[in-house]
Amino acid sequence: MKKSILSFLTFILIGILKLSAQGIEFQHISLEEALKKAETENKLVFVDFYTAWCAPCKIMNRDVFPLSEVGEVYNKHYISIKLDAEKEGAKAAAKYKVNSFPTFLYLESDGSVALKDTGRMPTADFISKAEQALASIGSAYSLEKLKEDFPNKQNDERFLKIYLSKMDEYGQDLTEGFNAWLKVQTEIEESSMEMFELLSKNTRYIVLGEKADQILKENYEAYQKAASPWQTKMLSRLKPQILNNTKKEALKRRDAELFKAYMESYKTLPEVYVKDEELINSELTYYVLINDNESYKDLIESYMDSLMHEKLIREIQEDDLKSYNRYKLAYEKDPIPARKAMVEASEEGLKATKILKDIAGKGTAYLQRVSSKKEYETLNSWIDYGYELKPESCYIDDLRSRMYIKQNKVKKALKFKERAIDNWPRSDKKFVNKEYELEQLRKSL
């Protein structure tokens, strides 16, 4: 009898411990229901926007959401739900401008945004986001209130200082705020080394044509004269950083003119920084921003023609064989894991693989804009070249599958998609996306 009672108590205790050690309790309700429940229980709403093909989403779901320390914060203060941004969550994703995944949205019960962030993050940061959102509630400086006030307070130095401090606290991008504050600040002389040190600590917010860039250009000689050897070295390396910032900001704003400024300035960098691949990709991106499909296709056709005639296929294969033998010999002399990885990679053909990926990437982009029989024939010639370089290449199979999908030849598309998946490197981050594409293709039959 005592044994039975003891066993029962042990069972209950284990159940309680398991319950207390759980992660986030995601509720299977709609966003509207979650907001109503949050109002009733005096909580906030946490929304995890995900997609079926998003690898970082799966990592967060596996490694972070189930942790007890995460559940302790989120279950106490939030009604938590998951929304597939391509299915039941599509309307909400459009409303809150969700365009990358995962996106984490922290809402007040009236639907206003307390905090919004994106991407995979460590556990401590994820918990911190929940705490930051809670701290902003009822504050005159909540994230949504700051964003609402910012356009109308560009000349308010005091507000802009608070804005920068709070936006930094919320983990938001400070580029616009930093440059707005620089325009009106009265604390630091622009030609002083104090200003140079401020710019040096905030290089990620310097964008071509913005106030920080203007200050830097106007006072470059003054900074250079007063700079230490280390600071002089840093000055010489600022331009690539500024261009990288400019590119990111132009893409974020979808600003074609800013992107064009980036392109023109990139060409003036020292030769060591300028890459042919970046020149081509940037020009293609610019055509996307200005919606010039014809120029986009012309450039890809020219590029692919050059790529296929740069070297004979036999020469590429011979170069790859030499690389493989070289890495294999090095591994035999010193069998460390890094050398083994290079042997495995080179066995597939380093140059050939790079070319095949390039054909698949640019071919896919070209396919999206194909509008004539002649263009399909052009695309097929690239595919044929890819198979000649490497028969049954997973990247070229995937491209051919995409072409058949566009031509409504679903059975043929499925055949090549399945073969692509069979040969696709399991270590590739895109593998999970390809599996999802295959699943959707099967469902369409």
Q: Which one-letter amino acid corresponds to residue 15?
A: G
Residue 34 and residue 336: Cα distance in Å, rounded? 53
Residue 398 and residue 175: Cα distance in Å, rounded? 39
234 by Cβ neighbours in 10 Å (0-12 / 13-18 / 19+) ranks as middle
Q: Report how far apart, in Å, the C-alpha atoms of 354 and of each of 277, 310, 358, 427 are.
A: 12, 14, 6, 16
Residue 313 and residue 319: Cα distance in Å, rounded? 10
pLDDT, averaged across the chain = 91
Is residue 17 pLDDT above 80, yes or no?
no
Taking CB atoms within 8 Å and a gap of at least 24, the contacts of 209-218 are: 209/258, 209/261, 210/175, 210/179, 211/179, 211/180, 211/182, 211/183, 212/178, 212/179, 212/182, 213/242, 215/182, 215/190, 216/242, 218/190
* CA 50 distance to own-chain centroid: 14
Q: Which one-letter amino acid corresponds to residue 187?
A: E
Contacts for 251 with CB less than 8 Å, ≥ 6 apart: 259, 285
- Write out pLDDT tens, residues 341-386: 899 889 989 999 999 999 999 999 999 999 999 999 999 999 999 9
Percent of the chain with pLDDT over 90: 78
- Write out pLDDT tens, residues 220-261: 999 999 999 988 988 888 999 999 999 999 999 999 999 999
Residue 220 and residue 196: Cα distance in Å, rounded? 9
Question: Which residue in the block uniquely carries the two structure tokens 């964003």?
Answer: 147
Are the C-beta atoms of 379 and 367 separated by less than 8 Å? yes
Residue 108 and residue 111: Cα distance in Å, rounded? 5
- Write out pLDDT tens, residues 266-292: 999 989 889 999 999 999 999 999 999
Is residue 394 pLDDT above 90, yes or no?
yes
Question: Which CATH code is given to the segment(s) 283-444?
Answer: 1.25.40
Question: Is beta strand 44-50 parallel, antiparallel or unpaired with respect to 78-84?
Answer: parallel
Q: Report how far apart, in Å, the C-alpha atoms of 202 and of each of 57, 125, 345 are.
A: 30, 21, 39
pLDDT at residue 185, as a whole number: 96
Is residue 3 pLDDT above 60, yes or no?
no
- For the entire predicted model, the pTM comes to 0.79
How many CB atoms neighbour CB 423 within 10 A? 12
1 by Cβ neighbours in 10 Å (0-12 / 13-18 / 19+) ranks as exposed
Q: Which two tokens stand for residue 359?
A: 């054909």
Helices 410-423 and 394-406 cross at an angle (nearest 10°) of 160
Is residue 196 pLDDT above 80, yes or no?
yes
Are the C-beta atoms of 154 and 95 separated by less than 8 Å? no
365 by Cβ neighbours in 10 Å (0-12 / 13-18 / 19+) ranks as middle
Q: Which one-letter amino acid corresponds to residue 309?
A: H
Is residue 5 pLDDT above 80, yes or no?
no
pLDDT at residue 21, as a whole number: 53
Classified as helix, coil or strand, 200 is helix
- Write out pLDDT tens, residues 84-110: 999 999 999 999 989 899 999 999 999
Q: Which CATH architecture has domain 31-137?
A: 3-Layer(aba) Sandwich (3.40)
Where do the structural domains in the chain lie, given as residue ranges?
A: 31-137, 150-236, 283-444
The conformation of residue 26, written as its DSSP 8-state character, comes to B
Are the C-beta atoms of 213 and 206 separated by less than 8 Å? yes
Q: Say yes or no: do domains 31-137 and 283-444 share a fold.
A: no
Q: Which one-letter amino acid corresponds to residue 148?
A: E
pLDDT band at 8 (very low <50, low <70, confident <90, very high): very low
List b or e across 156-171, with b for residues whose CB sees 16 or more CB atoms inside 10 angstroms: beebbeebbebbeebe
The conformation of residue 346, written as its DSSP 8-state character, comes to H
Question: Which residue in the block uniquely carries the two structure tokens 């400086």?
Answer: 141
Q: Which two tokens stand for residue 400?
A: 């051919």
Q: Report how far apart, in Å, the C-alpha atoms of 207 and of each of 98, 165, 259, 317 are.
A: 24, 20, 11, 43
Q: Which two tokens stand for residue 125?
A: 């940061």
- Write out pLDDT tens, residues 146-178: 888 999 999 999 999 999 988 887 778 899 999
How many CB atoms neighbour CB 83 within 10 A? 22
Determine the number of helices (DSSP H) and then strands (DSSP E) in the chain.
24, 4
